[in-house]
Amino acid sequence: MDLGSALDHLSLAYRLRVRDSDGAVVPGSIELGEAETVWRFVPRHPWTATPHHVSVDAQLEDLAGNRPGVLFDQPLDTAPADWARELPFQPTEAKP
């Protein structure tokens, strides 16, 4: 996933979760690439071809302390209701 800017590895490890169609956390590991602007998730077990989503914690911050959906001049506990907290995706079988 392209993050758009560099984010802290530790923050990403705690603030992004991959969940299955039942909402259960998918075990796996993360890798950061391209100067910490690309996030990759590697599941511990092969993907199932069912809907999944990346769950984004509202406390995720970039290196400057900005949080998703919150303007820098608003209180830290304020988050608009219209930002995406869940990013849906469906794994597909890899083609040889």
* Domain boundaries of the chain, sorted by first residue: 9-89
> pTM for the complete prediction?
0.76
- H or E element at residue 15: helix 9-15
- Report residue 5 as tokens: 């800017």
The closest alpha carbon to 5, from 35, 26, 30, 27, belongs to 35
For residue range 9-59, list pLDDT tens digits in order: 888 888 899 999 999 999 999 998 888 889 999 999 999 889 999 998 888
Q: Under CATH, to which class is 9-89 assigned?
A: mainly beta
Distances (CA, A) of 73 to 7, 66, 69, 77, 81: 20, 10, 12, 12, 17
